[in-house]
């Protein structure tokens, strides 16, 4: 016999929305989000549960890349609906016992939020009832220095995240903002970027004749953007944010 299941309806945040605010206890002390991270980019991500293998591989990878994200002016904040003491015990186990892809003795120093009430998970749409009602899916939110959600990625419980892509996204978002461009498929620093569509026939004609812009047609124009210039500009912004 079929049973009707009723789930609480919660509006999910959208790209361009202000990141929902919350205060929480974490493995690195209390935080007031996103106010504590003003001036920095943030990756807020959820995982289903402590002491699970996929999540363990992800936390080790995030921790091993933390310096790389920090250099791009990006802070990491994790979340699951487990308790603080479970978090602490799990992270200690990772450091003391787990080796994965050559990584070992990995210490997780970014905050991991305790969310037993699921208050934060619900605010961010991390609980997907058709996937699981008691575990958060693998959600990733890219939040800019003004506290605005710029990108969201959701993965099911069974699928580990691609960390090269997460890093690529944080760099691409900053490059697009800094140089007023768009990034094409599979863009990496050093690749050509997309010049925005022309707003008039005259502008389109000028672009077709501009030696610095490669136009295949009036609507599809690219230009070169030096890799070192992109990365140095992003690094400079990180240093300014720290002053």
Summarised one tens digit per residue, pLDDT across range 172-210 is 999 999 999 999 999 999 999 999 776 666 666 666 667
Give φ, ψ of 153 to 5 degrees.
-135, 130
Give the number of C-alpha atoms closer than 13 A to the C-alpha of residue 173, restricted to the C-beta side. 25
Question: Is residue 41 located within the same domain as residue 97?
Answer: yes
Question: Is residue 155 located within the same domain as residue 180?
Answer: no
- Name the active-site residue from 55, 74, 215, 221: 55
Residue 10 pLDDT greater than 70, yes or no: no
Question: Is residue 153 located within the same domain as residue 200?
Answer: no
pLDDT at 133: 84
pLDDT at 212: 85
Question: Is residue 35 located within the same domain as residue 144?
Answer: yes
Q: Which residue has the higher pLDDT, 217 or 170?
A: 170
Domain boundary among 162, 188, 213: 162
Residue 238's domain comprises 173-242
Do 79 and 112 contact (CB within 8 A), yes or no? yes
Helix ranges restricted to H, 192-226: 201-208
- Asked whether residue 136 is domain-assigned, the answer is yes
Residue 242 pLDDT greater than 70, yes or no: no
Question: Is residue 26 located within the same domain as residue 125?
Answer: yes
What would the pLDDT profile of 66-118 be if each residue is shown by its tens digit?
999 999 999 999 999 999 999 999 999 999 999 999 999 999 999 999 999 99
Question: Is residue 177 located within the same domain as residue 233?
Answer: yes
CATH number at residue 96: 3.40.30.10
Give φ, ψ of 132 to 5 degrees.
-170, 140
Residue 18 pLDDT greater than 70, yes or no: yes
What would the pLDDT profile of 125-177 be if each residue is shown by its tens digit?
999 988 988 899 999 999 999 999 999 999 999 999 999 999 999 999 999 99
Domain boundary among 134, 162, 190: 162
pLDDT at 1: 45
Annotated catalytic residue 55: yes
In the structure encoding, which two tokens stand for residue 22, read together?
Answer: 């919350």
Strand partners, 24: 31
Task: Kindly provide the residue ranges of all beta strands, DSSP E only, lying in 27-168, ordered along the sequence.
Answer: 29-33, 41-46, 74-80, 112-114, 138-143, 149-155
pLDDT at 8: 60
Residues in the chain, how many?
A: 243
d(Cα 69, Cα 41) in Å, to the nearest integer?
Answer: 9
Question: Is residue 68 located within the same domain as residue 119?
Answer: yes
Q: Which residue has the higher pLDDT, 243 or 187?
A: 187
- CA distance readout (Å), 127 to 35, 105, 133, 145: 24, 31, 6, 26
Domain count, the chain: 2
Question: Is residue 110 located within the same domain as residue 42?
Answer: yes
d(Cα 231, Cα 237) in Å, to the nearest integer?
Answer: 10
What would the pLDDT profile of 121-134 be if each residue is shown by its tens digit?
999 999 998 898 88
d(Cα 90, Cα 188) in Å, to the nearest integer?
Answer: 34
Residue 9 pLDDT greater than 70, yes or no: no
- CA distance readout (Å), 3 to 6, 133, 141, 144: 10, 16, 34, 43
């Amino acid at each position: 016999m079929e049973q009707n299941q009723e789930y609480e309806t919660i509006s999910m945040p959208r790209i361009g929305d202000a990141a929902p605010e919350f205060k929480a206890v974490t493995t690195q002390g209390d935080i007031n989000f996103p106010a504590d991270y003003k001036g920095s980019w943030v990756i807020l991500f959820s995982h289903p549960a402590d002491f699970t293998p996929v999540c363990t591989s992800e936390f080790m990878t995030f921790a091993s890349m933390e310096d790389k994200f920090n250099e791009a002016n990006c802070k990491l904040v994790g979340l699951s609906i487990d308790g603080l003491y479970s978090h602490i015990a799990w992270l200690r186990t990772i450091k003391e016992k787990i080796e994965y892809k050559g990584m070992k003795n990995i210490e997780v120093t970014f905050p991991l939020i305790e969310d037993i009430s699921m208050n934060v998970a619900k605010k961010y749409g991390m609980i997907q009832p058709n996937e699981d009602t008691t575990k958060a899916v693998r959600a990733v939110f890219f939040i800019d220095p003004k506290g605005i959600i710029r990108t969201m990625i959701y993965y099911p419980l069974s699928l580990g995240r691609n960390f090269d892509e997460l890093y690529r996204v944080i760099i691409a978002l900053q490059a697009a903002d800094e140089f007023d461009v768009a990034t094409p498929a599979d863009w990496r620093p050093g690749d050509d970027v997309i010049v925005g569509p022309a707003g008039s026939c005259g502008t389109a004609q000028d672009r077709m004749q501009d030696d610095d812009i490669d136009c295949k047609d009036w609507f599809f124009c690219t230009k070169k953007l030096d890799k070192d210039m992109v990365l140095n500009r992003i690094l400079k912004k990180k240093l300014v944010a720290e002053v």
